[in-house]
Amino acid sequence: MQHTFLPLRMAPLTALLFLLSACVSGVDYGPVPHGDYVAEPRCNPVSSNPQAMAGKEYFFATTRLPDCRTPSITLTNKRTDRMRFGRFAEATKAVNAKGNSQRVIPLAFEPETSWWDALGKRAGKNGRVLLYVHGYKERFPRTSRDTIQIARLTEFEGPMVLYTWPSHGSVLSYAVDEANMYWDERNFRRFLNKMAQQPWIKEIVLVSHSMGARLVLPAVDYVDRNSSSADSSNISNIILASPDIDRQKFERDIAEEVLSARRVNNDRRLTVYVSAKDRALETSRRIHGYPRLGTPYCFDPFRATELRQQGRPERCYALEATYDAPPAKKGMTIVDTTEVSDSNFGHSDFIQSAAVCADFKQVVKSGMRGANPNRISTHLDYVFRLRPLEETENSNLCMAGKKNKNRLEAEAD
């Protein structure tokens, strides 16, 4: 009888793969054919229904598979057969068939043409749209709540749009979320391109969180390359909150295109919120091996030693783009939220920490760049820290968002 033994050097790898397979599972198709989810006409309307849209002031576009089999439409974590457009309202409490209380998000779909028309009417002469792209581990109930909080926090005067892709909303589904995010790249870049080409659009304020940055930045580059003037200047205000993207790749490939001198001179600016307390991005760094844009981790130990000898914090940030002819304005501003984080996780300071909420609000409303009274200058002229704030209406809204986010996380899990 012959025995086959694994080489000794393969044993650790085999053990690791066994442990990973025990903790991480593949995507389950489910017991219902996906076509059954969308067979009901409400999932594929051919005309707009004003009654269905009444009271739903927030716009969304999604590549999540909807479930229209019950009276209340829901968005699943599965990939859709096509992009859909609709509107939603704040969640309300309802009692299900078993007599249990649950939160229901009123939403309805409408034809794409009707959706763009309604969005343009809502924008009016102002022509400004606030577009939010969520990140990893997000289910629709939570990301819809964040969207509403962003709209209220910033007091944005135009329409608020959520782009929601099929994140699985699970800690152990990071690789699945990455796969779905990359699967969705083409959908999002076409969507953003169409938005930028709307004749009534004057400015798109584009906000991404976490992994959402990996959808946003390549899409902006795509729109730039495909617009009639080779420059989509209406995408002028880009905000990356805790971006889960390779910092070195950003420095090498993305910054010099998205923040080319011509585009910066045309008033494009990029604000990046980073934190040394961001535990999610620390985990991402360990998974990918290299630092993420949203954390000031010093990959270079010699640079860390140099900073320490200078009496400065050991924090390393993305480098500015280099130019043959530098623009007249600053293209990138990095805001380090480490000292003012009110969160134990440090990954959503832009909607959970008072000082960051106040700064984020100003960036959305006015496109603020560079120094201001609440920002503390550092040895780098494009990097700032934030001063702590006293309790204000703004901070109360941030904390309310934090409590609601925690509650929704508990409900989702």
pLDDT at 97: 67
pTM of the model: 0.90
Alpha carbon 35 to its chain's center: 29
Q: For the chain, what percentages of helix, strand and coil (3-state, to nearest 5) are there?
A: 40, 20, 40
Q: Where are the alpha helices (DSSP H) in 243-387?
A: 247-249, 255-258, 261-265, 279-288, 301-309, 349-352, 354-366
Q: How far is residue 216's CA from residue 242's CA, in Å, rounded to a whole number?
A: 13
Q: What angle do CA 331, 335, 340 make, to 5 degrees?
A: 170
Q: How far is residue 34's CA from residue 56's CA, in Å, rounded to a whole number?
A: 27
pLDDT at 284: 95
Output the six-digit token pair for 70: 């019950």
Closest residue by Cα to residue 136 from 75, 105, 181, 188: 181
Q: Bridge partners of 62?
A: 84, 164
Q: How far is residue 204's CA from residue 191's CA, in Å, rounded to a whole number?
A: 13
User: Is the torsion defined by CA of 156, 161, 162, 165 positive or negative?
Assistant: negative
pLDDT at 400: 45
Helix axes 393-412, 140-154, angle to 10 degrees: 170
Closest residue by Cα to residue 75 from 10, 2, 139, 149: 139
Q: What is the pLDDT along the chain (413 residues), one digit of tens a residue?
A: 444 444 444 454 344 434 444 445 578 888 999 999 999 999 999 999 999 999 999 999 999 999 999 999 999 999 998 999 999 999 998 766 677 778 899 999 999 999 999 999 999 999 999 999 999 999 999 999 999 999 999 999 999 999 999 999 988 899 999 999 999 999 999 999 999 999 999 999 999 999 999 999 999 999 998 876 545 679 999 999 999 999 999 998 887 789 999 899 999 999 999 999 999 999 999 999 999 999 999 999 999 999 999 999 999 999 998 888 989 988 999 999 999 987 778 999 999 999 999 999 999 998 888 778 889 999 999 999 999 887 654 556 575 444 444 443 444 44
Task: Please provide the DSSP assignment of 79-130 as one string.
Answer: EEEEEEEEEE---EEEE-TTS-EEEE--EEE--HHHHHHHHHHHHGGG-EEE
Output the six-digit token pair for 34: 């996906």
Task: Please provide the DSSP assignment of 33-82 as one string.
Answer: -HHHHT-SGGGS-SS--HHHHTT--EEEEEEEEEE-SSSS-EEEEEEEEE
Helix (H, G, I), strand (E, B) or coil at 238: strand
Question: If you search the block for the tokens 């990071």, which residue do you land on?
Answer: 174
Domain architecture of the chain: domains with CATH? 115-412 (3.40.50)
Helix (H, G, I), strand (E, B) or coil at 334: strand
Contact 395, 389 (CB under 8 A): yes
pLDDT at 254: 80
Q: How far is residue 138's CA from residue 166's CA, in Å, rounded to a whole number?
A: 8
Contact 133, 120 (CB under 8 A): no
